[in-house]
Amino acid sequence: MSEAASLYRRHRPRTFAQVVGQEHVVRTLRNAVDQGKVHHAYLFVGSRGTGKTSMAKILAACLNCEHGPTTEPDGTCPSCTAIATATSLDVIEMDAASNNSVDDIRDLRERVAFAPVSGRSKVYILDEAHMLSPQAWNAFLKTLEEPPPDTVFVLATTEAAKVLPTVVDRCHRFDFTRPTVDQIASVLRRVAQEEQIAIDPEAIALLARHATGSFRDALGTLEQLVTYTGSTISTDDVLAVLGVADADLLFGALDAVAARDARAALHAAAALIRSGRDAGAFLRDLEAHARDLMIVQTLGEVPLELALTPERDRRLAEQAGRLARGDTVRVLDLLARAWHAVADGADARTRLELALVEAAAPQLDPATRALAARVEHLEGRLGGTVTAPPPDPPSSPVAAAIAPPPADASPLRSVPDVNGDAPAPAGVPEPAAHPGPPSAGSAPPPVESPSEQPRPPQRADGAALDLPALREAWPAVLDTLRDEKAFVASCLENAVPITLADGVLTAAFPADDAFIRRKCEEEPARSAVSQAIREVTGARLRVTYELREADELAGAGWAGTDSEAPDEDAVVERLKAELDATEIVPDADPDPQPDPEERT
């Protein structure tokens, strides 16, 4: 092969022994060649750069080597050399993306009838096979099912779902897995050694991660770096060529989120823009960094596939300990939303700044508050009902940094049971069962003291649920209710909690919302509201409704509404239009009884 050939073409594997990964494919094809059971049609499925075409050429070399069929082609005979340089008349490569018509397949069918020129078998490699039209597949189906002797078809595709099921049934399918970061790094080190390229280990790790599971992309980027900087490559060179954000920018942005500092988050975005990095690329890098934090928080250590340098791994572990898991998940969700907005045409810098500010100031997003309240409730249910055994000693500094506090560091949180009563803390004896009717001569039951009166409703964290806390959680209640009862949630948007006493919540509507109040008082709606409050706060409350004047509601925090409340007729007409319903009007009495005085 010419020295001008690209780096990944010069170093693509030529034998099964040189293939990195894909052990299941290598083992099956080796046995097929050794036992003389090579199938006439194979379907190679996998993402780009995973070695599908290289594996097809290795199979062709095994079948046509002068010393074969063999699983170890020598690579020096005329047949192997012709296959390696893509000049063999017996190995035909076709691109289905540009040869996908019926006429192209008819021409292929005519050439299939000819015997091999110099080798034992003719091997047709059809790349991007999913691009063939259904008509072309139908014209090719009979030939694929019963090809001439000594003919092998290898169909390679990245989208197996687009290949006709009748074609898949006639092929032996192999799914090529994405190589790991370590496997790509090993290939990069081998190629750099053979090409006499001096490259930092950190730069190799960065290249391997940026390749996202593609050998071809990794070697292509390495070749680009050689052109850019020569035979000596540093980590800074990789950052410059790839446009990858500096680690300090990534850590700074997430530090601002951990500190709940929206100002620092904006400064991090501004520093990125001043550095000349692309905001869209920074969104991708920030998402990858947040994913790394989530994995470290979950595993309690930095896994090998995420390790780059000792200093970076240490900083990653420390930041994973400072950042709450809920914040990490929220950052990933906000970045995903930003990605969708940028794909729809939004400005990348604006979406980046918005995502960072919302992540650092969660109180700005009602939906985020709702999610945080639900997570807090679930954590309270999981952590407060059972006394967990003491945790094992952490196995690494990272585990120690993110390990939860010991059980004796804070009192056990109590969670209301289905009846609304909180279990007693550990070490407190259970109260005796309620006695039956007193027998003759027995002493009357003692009168309950004020301290034994029913306790106020409690939140999931064990704290008493007061009216201010309920008002703070009210947007989360509406958000929870909106999933199941959207109409009831829309009605309650104009209500405000007024009082909370003895397990009864009173919410007030403006005086002109009498019809909305009646709809909310119906049993399905009332039960749904109580259930939503229980899901968010952990407290079981009964809900009642009142009508109040606007000035009274304003004193309770009601913001008012810009539009007039719909009257009963307007709501009925809206329900009829949206639900395609018909209003049932009671019929008049068909045979009214005459007045007794009229009969006289």
In SS3 terms, 259-277 reads as: CCCHHHHHHHHHHHHHCCC
Average pLDDT, integer, range 114-131: 87
The pLDDT value recorded for residue 409 is 42
The pLDDT value recorded for residue 579 is 61
C-alpha distances (whole Å) from 376 to each of 295, 457, 469, 516 are: 21, 17, 14, 32
pLDDT at 280 over 70: yes
The pLDDT value recorded for residue 394 is 44
Residue 484 or residue 37, greater confidence: 37
- For 322-345, the pLDDT digits (tens) are 888 888 888 898 899 898 888 888
The pLDDT value recorded for residue 277 is 73
Determine phi and psi for 154, rounding to 5 degrees. Answer: -120, 110
Stretch among 231-235, 334-338, 448-452, 537-541 having the lowest mean pLDDT: 448-452
CA nearest to 154, candidates 58, 238, 290: 58
The pLDDT value recorded for residue 470 is 80
- For 499-536, the pLDDT digits (tens) are 888 888 888 888 877 888 888 888 888 888 888 888 88
Does residue 69 have a cis bond before it (omega within 30 degrees)? yes
- The confidence band for 348, taking pLDDT boundaries of 50, 70 and 90, is confident
Residues 348 and 439: their CA atoms lie apart, in Å, by 79
Residue 482's Cβ-count burial label (10 Å; 0-12, 13-18, 19+) is middle
The pLDDT value recorded for residue 386 is 36
- The confidence band for 367, taking pLDDT boundaries of 50, 70 and 90, is low
Report DSSP state, residue 510: E
Highest mean pLDDT among 86-95, 356-365, 371-380: 86-95
pLDDT at 43 over 90: yes
Stretch among 3-7, 258-262, 311-315 having the lowest mean pLDDT: 3-7
The pLDDT value recorded for residue 395 is 45
C-beta of residue 553 within 8 angstroms of C-beta of residue 496? yes
Residue 566 or residue 213, greater confidence: 213
Residue type, 572: V
pLDDT at 267 over 70: yes
C-alpha distances (whole Å) from 343 to each of 217, 269, 280, 351 are: 23, 19, 10, 11
Stretch among 238-247, 277-286, 531-540, 544-553 having the lowest mean pLDDT: 238-247
304 CB contacts (<8 Å, ≥6 apart)? 182
Q: What percentage of the chain reaches a pLDDT higher than 90? A: 11
Stretch among 76-85, 142-151, 183-192, 367-376 having the lowest mean pLDDT: 367-376
C-beta of residue 510 within 8 angstroms of C-beta of residue 550? yes
> What domains does the chain contain, in order, with CATH numbers?
7-175 (3.40.50.300), 181-242 (1.10.8.60), 247-364 (1.20.272.10), 467-579 (3.30.300.180)
Determine phi and psi for 164, rounding to 5 degrees. Answer: -60, 140
The pLDDT value recorded for residue 426 is 43
Stretch among 203-212, 257-266, 303-312, 375-384 having the lowest mean pLDDT: 375-384
Residues 286 and 112: their CA atoms lie apart, in Å, by 51
